[in-house]
Structure formats: structure tokens, C-alpha cells
Structure 1
């Protein structure tokens, strides 16, 4: 299932999808198997920082309007997993 609103012409470049997917995929693979809270915190901070500067159209597509997407500790794991899977489908 593609994120709501994606039609390939939403001002989202293939390059931005590829870069985001590569970064998110790498971080998700580490995050999901990590047992070190400091490592998970570092990943959350890195992803949140990237999300704050990524193309707004891409962030909007992924977040589907959810406030705090990739920024909130309580939902971070689910958000990152969703974003990684959604980006993979856009490749």
C-alpha cells in the first residue's frame, strides 16, 4: 500500500525517496535488534533530525498528517517501521 496522496508527481524526487529509504532502512535494522537504550536514543535523534530537514512533500506523504511522526518516542518504532516499508514500495 502506498502512502496516501502519492501519485509520482507530488514534488517528490526519486533521489529523495532513495536517500530516505537507504537511511531509514539502515537505522531500522539496527534499532529493531538493539538492546542498548543509548543506541536507540541516538537513532531516534538522528532520524528525527533528518525528518525535520527532509523534503516537506515526502515527509507529508509518509506522515499522512500525523503530528509528531518520527519525532515522538512513544510511537517512534512503529513510525520508523512504517516509513521504511512505505519508502521501499516507492522505489
Structure 2
């Protein structure tokens, strides 16, 4: 059986681009009340902020920031609308 932690690892592509340890991933899940989509979004955003560019002499590897931002869009939670208006008929 696949756990929420395994799904989160898959969503964040931790095999190919390791960044978080299992404890950090569990904290992401806990912080987002077990919502894998929201935890995936937050994880992608954290990876996007990290500066992973590299410069060695004349060789420059650019950051993967745009990749993680694009991936984050797939997991972005839908906005929650809260209305404070009441019905005109009082019900």
C-alpha cells in the first residue's frame, strides 16, 4: 500500500531531486493537515526558493526555479471563498 509520504515524495520528485528528508516531508504533511496536494505545493515552492545554480570557472548551470514554480501550479489549492453576506429573506 502506498503511503501519503510516498505520494508526497513522488510529487516532489525526491528520487531525482532530493531536497527533503522523511522528517521534513512528514512535517509538510502535518502542517497541511494531511493534505497531499497542499503539502506538494508548499514543497515545490520551497524547492523553487532554494538557489541551486552553480558556477565553476566558465561553466554556469542555471537554477531550476522556473521548473519548480511550474510544477507547483499543478498542486496549487483552489481558492476558498468565504462569504459574509446574508440572504435578503433572512433565512
Greater relative contact order: 1 or 2 (C-alpha under 8 angstroms, separation 6 or more)? 1
Q: Which has the larger radius of gyration?
A: 2
- Fold-level match, TM-score > 0.5? no
Query: Which is helix-richer, 1 or 2?
Result: 1
Q: TM-score, normalised by structure 1?
A: 0.30
Query: Which is strand-richer, 1 or 2?
Result: 2
Q: TM-score, normalised by structure 2?
A: 0.30
